[in-house]
Amino acid sequence: MLSIHPLPYPLDAQAAFTRIRDLGDPVLLDSAQPESDPRFGRYDIIAAAPDVLVRYTRGRTEVRRKGLWNSVESDPINLLKSLNSEIALGENSGLPFCGGLIGHFSYDLGRAFEALPSPAEDDLALPEMRVGRYLWAVVIDHQQSTSQLVAHPQADGLQVEAVHRLLLAEADDHLSKTTPFHLVSDFESNLPRPKYMDAFNRVQDYILAGDCYQINLTQRFSARCEGDPFHAYRALRKRATTPFSAYMESGSDAILSLSPERFLKVSDDGEVETRPIKGTRPRGGNETEDQAFIDELKQSEKDRSENLMIVDLLRNDLGKVCEAGSISVPELFAIETYPNVHHLVSAVTGKLAEGYTSLDLLKHCFPGGSITGAPKIRAMQIIDELEPHRRGVYCGSIGYFSAAGGMDTSICIRTLLVENGRVYCSAGGGIVADSVGDEEYQESFDKVNNLLETLQELS
């Protein structure tokens, strides 16, 4: 039986994270409440000290138990399914997470599922997957106004009691003991304008030749940096209140995600949802200009066409593991507004077929179609040819897989990586036959300018 340890509400998720951070491999899944959309931003989940950690790097799967790493001969997703089945709970707890898996899956994990060429440089050489099995977590429910420490029956009882005491202790400013984050160089792109336009023209050639209908072309910005990445996350989170935000770290490396996009959600009883974003406009300088951008996005045949292409792609992906006849599109071309942009969003739903798990769904849909193009495999081949570096964490996914069967994952857009003294941030957009190069180039800046400017202000 789960053990539930009450905590005060409201509980500052960021402060709670800093208290358990030193326990190792900490994760914060942050709904950005009360500022973000309450339809999606209900829960914050905070965890640390996984009993098992799995990483997959260039075809090699490794498992850490009790501090020791060992290589294993296993498909990475099958291994995760096995680890979660060991702690499976038959009851529906009513909680989003009651022990289970939390981690990140890089865009390049797609190579484990599909034979793809590798012309893009793997300059960071980071794991394509890093997932921990967490037997306890803090769950903050902003609809029910509750905070609780939830422990799986297999969790270490003494550790859970110690964590509970730590969370109830008198407040301490843990961040004041770390070095503030700051940049020590300007941001540079790996695809400056002339090279971007060359790549854009190549995409148009492929579309004209019938190779593809849409390609998501991105560029990567990077700068040298110093200091605690969590300082940067806190500053970014103030500027970008998005319901699928996340922060996780391993050693000196950290992922800072301010994602507005749900990839895949599965309820404990197998109801599936994905919410692709395709179509973007900047925010206006005043209410009139802002509404004009919304109206323009609503009426854009180009953006609606792009969105519909990805909806069809995802209907096909979900159909691989969902019950026949269960796929539907309850929302088409909805507008979602964020601090820096408006997005055109649709929803595709289904019912997981018997014999399939949430991890099977992830494998059959990965990576998300909204950040590849269509058809997916050919689009990924073209992306690898035209983008100079592998995407890594960007355009991958972050999320949880509960021992009770549910899952929720994001698409890693508006996502930064801090690694080896550098910070990386990528952005792009979908290119179709009637796209205009200058507009697509500008859109990539519209999506991340507020993030880059925030980091520059910290310096």
Q: Which of 128, 249, 261, 440 is catalytic?
A: 261
Asked if residues 4 and 148 have their Cβ atoms less than 8 Å apart, the reply is yes
- Which amino acid, residue 15? A
* Alpha-carbon dihedral sign for residues 320, 269, 357, 56: positive
351 as an active site residue: the answer is no
Judge whether 81 counts as a catalytic residue. Answer: no
Q: How many CB atoms within 10 Å of residue 177?
A: 9
Question: In whole angstroms, what is the distance from residue 360 CA to residue 401 CA?
Answer: 11
**CA–CA gap between residue 133 and residue 401 (Å, rounded):** 9
* Active-site choice (265, 278, 351, 447): 278
Cβ distance 152 to 98 under 8 Å? yes
Rounded Cα distance, 196 and 378, in Å:
20
CB atoms within 10 A of CB 22: 11
Q: What angle, 0 to 180 degrees and rounded to 10, lies between the N-to-C axes of helices 437-458 and 229-239?
A: 120
CA 294 vs CA 31, 36, 277, 330: distances in Å: 24, 18, 15, 21
Q: Measure the CA–CA gap between 267 and 276, rounded to whole angstroms.
A: 18
Q: Can you list the alpha helix ranges (DSSP code H) found in 169-271?
A: 193-208, 229-239
How would you classify the pairing of strands 271-274 and 262-266? antiparallel
Q: Compute how many other C-beta atoms are within 10 angstroms of the C-beta atom of residue 341.
A: 24
Which positions are annotated as active-site residues?
261, 278
